[in-house]
Amino acid sequence: MSDKDIALKPKTVTKPKLERPRLYKVILYNDDYTPREFVTVVLKVVFRMSNEAGYRVMMTAHKLGSAVVVVCAKDIAETKVAEAMDLAKEAGFPLMLKAEPEE
């Protein structure tokens, strides 16, 4: 077999397709019982928002029924939802948040 007979295999570089992890949005829902001040404090403590940002998001939920608090990884979104709802539960308020996948 001469050198000419050696068939060189084309090097196929297969790029692993890494799917970007899906992002989740945390939605805050309005209710008639949780005090505005409490909602604002929860947004500050759990989501590290400024007083102004927390107040704005709280008022958006208050007026429109719901508001997006943050968009982040699934585990973070679910942890924050649980933390916020635990604080509300301890205080006896029916505050509701949900983590939903982004379209």
Q: Min. distance of Cβ 59 from ligand TYC in angstroms?
A: 7
Residue 32's SS3 state is coil
Nearer CB in complex with ligand TYC: 10/84 = 84
Q: Min. distance of Cβ 35 from ligand TYC in angstroms?
A: 5
Distances (CA, A) of 8 to 2, 13, 15, 44: 13, 15, 21, 63
Determine if 62 is a binding residue for ligand TYC (CB under 6 A).
yes
What spatial distance separates the first Cα and last Cα of the chain, rounded to whole Å?
Answer: 59
Determine if 22 is a binding residue for ligand TYC (CB under 6 A).
no
CB atoms within 10 A of CB 102: 10
Q: Min. distance of Cβ 12 from ligand TYC in angstroms?
A: 54
Q: Min. distance of Cβ 103 from ligand TYC in angstroms?
A: 22
Determine if 28 is a binding residue for ligand TYC (CB under 6 A).
yes
For residue 100, what are its two tokens? 């939903």
For residue 7, what are its two tokens? 């068939």
Contacts to ligand TYC by CB under 6 A: 28-32, 34-36, 39, 58, 61-62, 95
